[in-house]
Structure 1
Amino acid sequence: MSSIIQLLPDHVANQIAAGEVVQRPASVVKELMENAVDAKATNIKLIVKDAGKSLIQVIDNGVGMSITDSRLCFERHATSKIRHAEDLFSLHTKGFRGEALASIAAIAHVEMKTKQDQEELGTHIIIEGSKFVSQEPSVLPKGTSFSVKNLFFNIPARRNFLKSDTVEQRYIVDEFQRVAMAHPNIHFTMYHNGSEMFNLPVSNFRQRIVNIFSGKTNEKLVPAKEETEIVNLHGFIGKPEFSKKNRGEQFFFVNNRFIKSGYLHHAVMAAYEGLLSTGAQPSYFLYLDVPPHTIDINIHPTKTEIKFDDEHALYAILRSSIKHSLGQFNVAPILDFDRDPNLDTPYQYQNKEAEYPTIQVDRQYNPFSEEKPSKAFTSSSSSSSNYKKPEAQPSWESLYVGLKQAGQEIAEMTFENDAVTSSLFEENEIEQEVKRTYQIQKKYIVSPIKSGMVIINQKRAHERVLYEGFLTSMTVHQASSQQMLFPLQLNYSSAEIELLAELKSSLENTGFIFESINEDSVVISGLPVNVTESEIAIVLEELLSDLHDGIPDSSFSQNDTIAKSMAKSLAVKTGTYLTEKEQENLVHNLFACREPNVSPFQKPTFITMSVEDLDKKFSL
C-alpha cells in the first residue's frame, strides 16, 4: 500500500501560512509598517490604491538590507530578531516570526527596492506568487520600498471574500493609526488613490492623537500617569461627557504594540462607574510599559492579544490610576466637606456687638372697648408707634336699604319646568366616553378590541412607524425639513467625516440639510420634522456606530440600514410616559403601516389576547 502522508510543496505551505498572517489588505499594511519601524526609519510613507486590492506601497528611510538579506527575507521563518527560543520572551521589536514577507509574496506580486547607507548600489527584486522573477542591482535612495500589487491574484476565493472598498479602506486606516500612535517620534504620511489622507509630523503623544482624530480632541483628553514596579502607565483618557456609543477611540499599547484586552477594558469601565450613561463608551489612549519577560505576545497570529503574568495587579493599578486622574482634574464628582465661605461673618462686622430690637407696647389698648385708644403709651418710645384700630365696616343689610322705598320691586323670575318624558336612545345604548388605551409600566399599551385586547410594545411599535416613514421619504425623495434658527456644528474624526460624506445624499432624503462638510466638522442647518436639535448628535453618532463595519453597496440596503438606525435612535424609550392622545396616535399609526406585526429588527410589536384566553386563565 502506498504512503498517504506527504510533505507540502513550499508554495502551498506559504499560501496556508498566508491564511493566518494575511487576512485582508490591512494585514499587509500592518506587517510592512512594523518592518519599517523595526528598520529604525524616521519617515514612513504609505500609498494605497483601490483599498489595497491594486497596490500597497510602504516607503521608509531605514537601514535597508544587503543583497543576501534582501533575498533571504522572503524565505519562511527567516528573521533577524530571534536566535534562541528564550528570545521569544524578551522581545523589543515588532515582527519576529519571519512569516510575513514569505506569506505576502505567496499571494501577490511583490516588488522590493532596498539599499543600505554605506552601499553605492541597492537591490531590486520582483516576486510573483513565491517565484523569483528578477533580482538586479539598482541606483536607489537609502531605505526600503515594498510594493504589493494584485493581492490574492492566485487565490480568487479569498479575494471574493473581501468586503467593499470603503470597509477595507477603513481597516487600513485603523492599522495605520495604531502604528502611528505608538510611534509619535516618526513622521507618517498616507495617500489613498492619489490624495493625502494623513500627514503626521514628529510630535508628542498628545499632539499625535489630536493630529489623527482632529476636531476638538484636545479638550476631551485628561492625562493619566502611574509608575510602579509592575507597569509604567501613561496616556490619556476621555472626559465622560464626550463618551460615544461605539468603541472606535479605545487603544491599549503595551511596549509600543497595539493590543486588544477585554480584561483591561473592564478595568477602565470600572473606573468610569457612575459617570457614563447606559451603553456609552469612553475614549482612552493608554500606553503600558512592562518588562518583556512578564508577557507572552505569541499567542495570537496577528499578535494583537497578549498574556500577562500578573493580570490582577495590572487591573487594580489601571483602575485606580484612571480614577485618580478623573478626580484630580475634577471630572469625577467628589464629596467636599469644606465649610461654605458664604456663611462666614463679614470682615467689617466681626468685632461689633449685636443690636437688640426695641419693643413698643400700647398698654391702654382694650380690644373689647368701643372707645378709641389713647395715643399715650406707657413706653417711652411709644410715640413712634403707628397703631390704628380698624374702622367698623357697614353690615350687609345696609346694602338693601332704600330699594323698596324708591319704588323698585325685586322681580321674581319663573322658569318653565318641562319634564323629559322620553329619550332618543335607551339607557343601555348610550355610548359613554371611555378610555380606549392604557399604559402599563410605561412599556406596554393595552387597547381593547371586540374579541379581547391588544398589548403593544411601545418602543417596537414606534420603531416600525418611524422606519417606514424614513424609508418612504428616502424612496420618494420628498422629505420635510425644519429650518434651524442657528446652524449647528458637530466635530468628528476624519474617518467619520468620510463616512458622513458618503451618506450625505441619503440623509438629505430623510430631511437633514448639510450646509457644509469640512475636514473635521459638519454644519447642519435643517432637520427632519420629528428630530429635535438635542437629538442630532445622538442620531448621527448611533448611525456612524451602526455603519462602522461598512456601508452596503446597493442603495436600497443603504437606505434600509439608515432608516433602521434612525428609527432605533428616535423611538420612544421604555419607561417614557405617554398621554392618552399619544397612545392613540401610536396605535393608529402602527396599524396603518404595511407590516405592523414586527419591528424593523423582526421582533413582534404586539400580541392579542382573546376573551377565551382570559377565561382559560380564570378557569385554572
Structure 2
Amino acid sequence: MQKIKILPEHVANKIAAGEVVNRPESVVKELLENSIDAKASSIDVYIKGAGKVLIQVSDDGEGMSEEDALLCIQRHATSKISTAEDLTSIKTFGFRGEALSAIASVSVFELKTERKTDEIGTLIRIDEFGKIFSEKGSFSKGTTVAVKNLFYNTPARRNFLKSNSTELKHIIETFKRIALSHPHISFKLYNDDELLFDFPATTLDDRMKSVFAENILDLAFEVKELTEYISLFGYIGKPTYLRKSRGEQYFYLNNRYVVSKVINHAVFTSFENIMEKGDYPFFVLFMEIDPKKIDVNVHPSKLEVKFEDEKEIYTFVQAVVKKGIGSYDLVPSISLDDETKNSNSAQLRFIDFRKTEKYDLSDRPNFSKDKNHSAFFSDEDIDRLFGNLNNEIKYTLPNSNVLHPFDEKEQKEIYHTSSIESQKGVESPFIVLLHNKYILTQIKSGLMIIDAHVAHERILYEKALKSFNANLPFSQQLLFAQTLKADPADIELIKELNPYLVKLGFEIKISSKNTITILGVPSDVLVGTEIETLLEILKEYRKNQQEKNLEITDNIAKSFSCKAAIKAGHKLNETEMRILVDQLFATSMPYVCPHGRPIVVKIPIEEFDKRFGRT
C-alpha cells in the first residue's frame, strides 16, 4: 500500500501559511507592503479585536482587473517578478506571491478592487469552506482587503496568540516602522473604530516627530554619507538618549525594514567608549545599495538579509557612525591615563564573591545596636528615606525655643542616627555619597561601595513579593488624581495586570478607551512621578516578557522595583543612606539586584596600602 501521498492543496496552503503569517501583525505587514507596491498615496488600516476579529487595509493605489484579482489569491502568483533573474534585482516589497494565498487559507477573506480607468470594480470573497465568489460592483478606486476571524480554521495556531494588548502592540510597532520609511504616504490606523494614528504625507523629519516625539531631533544627531556604491543616512540618538532595550533600532535597506546583526553590532561598537553595558543606542538608519549586492529572499517574512560583503558593510557603517559621533562633543571625560593600563603598578580589582551566611555581619557596615536587626523601621525613618520632604522643615520639641535662622545651633547633628551609639562609646563608621550615585562606607576589611539605585531596587523587589503574598494592599491616595491618555495597548495591559497593580498599591480607574485616572500609588513612588513611573513599569514588563519570559508576579515585582527605585542623581542625606544600607542587608540577597547586577563592591585596605606605597 502506498504510504507517501501528495497533500491536498488546501492542507498544503495551511502548512505554508505558518511561514508567512504567524500573528495578526504579519497580515498587517504584508497588506501594507502590497499597498505601497501598488503606488498608493493614502493607506488606512482598521483593526478589531487586536486583529483576531478584523484586519482591513484600504489604499488608493492602482487597483486590479477581475482577472488579476482572481489570480492574486493563488499560490505563487505575483506581478512583481517573472524570471529567476528578477530575484537578483528586487525593488518591490512583496515578490514571492505567497502572502494573499496564505492569508486567505487561514481566514474569511474579502478583496474589493477597482482601477482608476474602470467604471466598475471586482469583489472577491472566500468563505469558510474555501469557495471563491466573484462579483462586480462600484467601489472606491484602489484596493481594500478585509481579513476576518484569523486562524479560525487552525485553532492550534490561534491558541498560541498572545493577549490582545501584546498583539496590538506588535501591530502598532509594524505600522510605525512602515510609516516611518514612507513619509510621502499618508497613513491612518483605527482600533475598534477609534483613530489611533493619523500620519499625513510629509518629510522624514516631520514623520519622525509624529512617530516618536516632537523633540526627537533634539535628542539625536544626523549621519550622512553618500557614495556611488553605498549610501547611509539617518539619525542616531545622543548618549543622553541611550535605551535599556533593543526595541528602538530601525534599519531600512533600500527602504525595507530588516533586522541585521551586522548593522546593529557596527553601531554598538561605535559607541563602545560611551555606553555602559546594557545600554543600546536609538537609531533610524537608511541604507541604499545595489539590489544585486544583497539577498532579501532568505525567509518568507523578508526581515532577514544577507550582504555580498558583510565585512565591507560593517566597516562602512562603523566609520560613518563614528564620524557622526566625532562631530559632536559627546565623549565623556575619563580620569585614568592610558599609560596606567600598560603599567606594572598594582591596580584596584574586584574581590571574588564569597559565600556569606544570612546573619554573618562581620564585614558589613554596622549602624544598629543589634546585629540581627529587624527589617522594620519607624514611619519617621521611612519618610526621611523615601519621602519628598521639604529640607527646610525642622522638627522641634513642644517646649523648645525656636532658633533664629541665622543663630548658631548648639546641636548641628540633630538627625545623626548614630548618636545613641556614640553616647555609649561605640564608634559609628563614616558614610558619604559619591556623585549622588554611590554610597561609600567603612567596613572591617576596608571600603564598601554600594550602588544606591540597585540597592533600593533589591529592597523594593522583596517588598513587592511580600505584598503579593500578604494580599493586604496599601495605597497612598493622591490629593489630586492624575489623568493621562495612554496607548490602547497600554490600556489592555493595565486591565490584565490590575489585580497585581492593586496589591502593589496602585489604584487606577479606566475612564475611556484611551484615558486612565491614577487615584492612588504605592508609598515608594516619588511625588510628581506617578504617571511616568506607571508607564515605565508597563514598558519594563513588556521588555521582560519578550526577552526573559518571566512568571507574572516576578516580572511585575522586577518592573516595579526597577522603575520606582531612586535614580542616579537623587541626593540622600546621612540618615537616609544609613537606613538604606540597613534595609539592604536585611534582604535575602543584598549582593545582586533582581536583574543580576552587582550592588556591593569591596576594596580591601591592602589595596590602598599598595597604591600609597605602604607595603
Residues 220 and 236 in structure 2, CA contact (< 8 A), matched pair in contact too: yes
Query: Structure 2 CA distance, aligned partners of 1:20 and 1:118?
Result: 36
Residue 116 of structure 2 corresponds to which residue in structure 1?
A: 117
Going from structure 1 to structure 2, the CA distance change for 1:161 and 1:440 (only over 3 Å counts) comes to farther
Q: Residue deviations 1:243-276, cap 9 Å, x none?
A: 2212222100001100001121111111222222
| Structure 2 residue 464 is the aligned partner of structure 1 residue 467 | yes
Instruction: Measure how far apart 1:136 and its partner are.
Output: 1.2
Asked if the contact 1:464–1:598 (Cα under 8 Å) also holds between the matched residues in 2, the reply is no
14-23 or 272-281, which moves further after superposition? 272-281
Structure 2 residue identity aligned to 1:94: F
| CA shift in 2, pair 1:524/1:147, >3 Å | closer
Q: 2:556 aligns with which of 543, 555, 562?
A: 562
Correspondence for 1:242: 241
Distance 1:443 1:535 in 2: 28
Deviation at residue 134 of structure 1 after TM alignment: 1.5
User: What are the superposed Cα offsets for residues 126-146 of structure 1, whole Å, 9 maximum, x if unpaired?
Assistant: 113572341111111211110
Q: Does 1:544 align with 2:539?
A: yes
Alpha-carbon displacement from aligned partner over 1:30-81 (angstroms, at most 9, x marks no partner): 1111000000110100001000111000001111111110001111111111
CA separation of 1:234 and 1:491: change in aligned 2, threshold 3 A? farther
**What is the match of residue 477 of structure 1?**
473
Residue type matched to 2:472 in 1?
A: V
Aligned counterparts, 1:451-600, within 5 A: 462=459, 465-468=462-465, 471=468, 475-480=471-476, 510=504, 528-531=522-525, 541=536, 543-548=538-543, 561-568=555-562, 583-588=581-586, 590=588
Q: What secondary structure sits across from 2:145 in the alignment?
A: strand
Structure 2 partner of 1:269: 268
SS at match of 2:111: strand
1:145 match: 144
AA aligned to 1:468 is: L
Q: Which letter does structure 2 place at the counterpart of 1:75?
A: Q
- Contact 2:164–2:492 (8 Å) recurs in 1: no
Aligned to 2:18: 19
- Worse-superposed segment, 238-247 or 43-52: 238-247
Partner residue in 2 for 1:405: none
Q: Which amino acid aligns with 1:546?
A: Y
Stretches of structure 1 lacking an aligned partner (at least 5 in a row)? 336-430, 445-456, 606-620
Give the equivalent residue in structure 2 for 1:617.
Answer: none
1:182 corresponds to which residue?
A: 181
Determine if contact 2:486/2:514 at 8 Å carries over to the other structure.
yes
User: Cα distance, 1:98 vs. partner?
Assistant: 0.6
- Taking a change above 3 Å as real, the CA distance of residues 519 and 268 of structure 1, as seen in their structure-2 partners, is farther
Contact in 1 for aligned 2:46/2:190 (Cα 8 Å):
yes
TM score, norm. by length of structure 2: 0.68
Deviation string for 1:7-49 (max 9, x for gaps)? 1111011111101111011111111110000001101000010
SS class of match (1:277):
coil
- Per-residue CA deviations over 1:288-317 (Å, capped at 9, x if unaligned) read 011000000011221101001121122122
Residue 586 (structure 1) shift? 3.8
Map residues 90-489 of structure 1 onto 2, 5 A cutoff: 90-129=89-128, 131-332=130-331, 442=448, 462=459, 465-468=462-465, 471=468, 475-480=471-476
The alignment partner of 1:114 has SS state of strand
Equivalent position amino acid for 1:462 in 2 = I
Using the TM superposition, give the Cα deviation of residue 215 of structure 1 relative to its aligned residue in structure 2, in angstroms. 5.0
Letter of the 1:477 partner, please give it: P
d(CA) in 2 for partners of 1:276 and 1:246?
A: 13
Question: Whole-Å Cα distance in 1 between the matches of residues 324 and 211 of structure 2?
Answer: 23
Contact persistence 1:15–1:103 (CA under 8 A): yes
- Unaligned runs of 5+ residues in structure 2 are 335-423, 430-442, 600-615
Aligned residue number for residue 63 of structure 1: 62
Instruction: Give the secondary structure class of the aligned counterpart of 1:95.
Output: coil
CA distance in 2, matches of 1:230, 1:166: 43
Encode CA deviations 1:369-424: one digit per residue, 9 max, x unaligned.
Answer: xxxxxxxxxxxxxxxxxxxxxxxxxxxxxxxxxxxxxxxxxxxxxxxxxxxxxxxx
274-283 vs 29-38, which deviates more?
274-283
The one-letter code sitting in structure 2 at the alignment partner of 1:245 is K
Kindly state the Cα deviation for residue 458 of structure 1 after the two structures are TM-superposed.
7.2
- How many residue pairs were aligned? 487
Q: Please tell me whether the aligned partners of residues 63 and 143 of structure 1 are also in contact (alpha carbons under 8 angstroms).
A: yes
CA–CA distance in structure 1, aligned partners of residues 458 and 121 of structure 2 = 69
Match of 1:408?
none
Secondary structure of the corresponding residue to residue 547 of structure 1: helix
Q: Secondary structure at the match of 1:248?
A: coil
Deviation of residue 214 (structure 1)?
2.9
Give the alignment's Cα RMSD to 1 decimal. Answer: 4.5
> Cα distance 1:501–1:275, how it changes in 2: closer, same or farther (>3 A)?
farther
- Rounded to whole Å, the distance in 2 between the matches of 1:283 and 1:521 is 28
Q: Does 1:29 align with 2:28?
A: yes
Checking the alignment, whether the CA contact within 8 Å between 1:11 and 1:130 is kept in structure 2 is no
AA paired with 1:252? F
**Secondary structure in 2 matching 1:93:** coil
User: Residue 517 and residue 127 in structure 1: after superposition, are their counterparts in 2 closer, same or farther (change >3 A)?
Assistant: closer
1:45 partner SS = strand
Q: What letter is aligned with 1:25?
A: P
User: Alpha-carbon deviation of 1:483?
Assistant: 8.0
Kept after mapping to 1: 8 A contact 2:76/2:97: yes
Contact 1:166 1:550 in 2 (8 A): no
Structure 1 residues 455-500: Cα deviation after superposition (integer angstroms, max 9, x where no partner): xx97896365333355479x4331347989xx99999988668867
Give the aligned partner of residue 374 of structure 1.
none
The structure-2 alpha-carbon separation of the partners of 1:327 and 1:67, relative to structure 1 and needing over 3 Å to count, comes to: same
Q: Summarize the Cα distance change of 1:67–1:131 in structure 2 as closer, same or farther, 3 Å threshold.
A: same
For residues 293-352 of structure 1, give each alpha carbon's deviation from its aligned partner in whole angstroms, at most 9, with x where no partner exists: 0000011221101001121122122122122222324334599xxxxxxxxxxxxxxxxx
Q: Residues 187 and 201 of structure 1 are in contact (CA less than 8 Å); yes or no, is this contact kept in structure 2?
A: yes
Equivalent residues of 2:28, 2:171 under 8 A apart: yes
Amino acid at match of 1:565: S
Distance in 2 between the 1:441 and 1:3 partners?
A: 79
Distance 1:141 1:561 in 2: 48
1:50 maps to 49
Residues 435-444 or 299-308, more deviating = 435-444
Report the CA distance between 1:212 and its aligned residue.
1.3
Aligned to 2:131, what secondary structure does the other structure show? strand
In structure 1, what residue type is equivalent to 2:194?
S
Between the aligned partners of 1:14 and 1:500, the Cα distance in structure 2 is 37
The offset of 1:540, in angstroms, is 5.3
Matched, 1:83 2:82: yes
Which piece of structure 1 moves more, 434-443 or 221-230? 434-443
The letter for the 2-side match of 1:544 is K
Write the distance in 2 (CA, Å) between the matches of 1:219 and 1:492: 24
Match of 1:74 in 2: 73
- Report the 3-state secondary structure (helix = DSSP H, G, I; strand = E; otherwise coil) of the residue aligned with 1:23: coil
Could you tell me whether the CA contact under 8 Å between 2:467 and 2:473 is conserved in 1? no
**Contact 1:483-1:527 at 8 Å conserved across structures:** no
Q: Secondary structure at the match of 2:91?
A: coil
SS in 1 for 2:90: coil
TM-score, normalised via structure 1 length: 0.67
Instruction: Select between 507-516 and 309-318 the one with higher mean Cα deviation.
Output: 507-516
Residue deviations 1:125-179 (CA, integer Å, cap 9, x gap): 1113572341111111211110000111111111111111111111111111121
* Equivalent residue number for residue 388 of structure 2: none
Measured in 2, the distance between the counterparts of 1:438 and 1:194 equals: 66
Contact 2:41 2:60 in 1 (8 A): yes
Identity of aligned residues (%): 37
Judge conservation of contact 2:485–2:514 (CA < 8 Å) in 1: yes
Bigger CA radius of gyration: 1
Indicate conservation of the 8 Å contact 1:167/1:550, yes or no: no
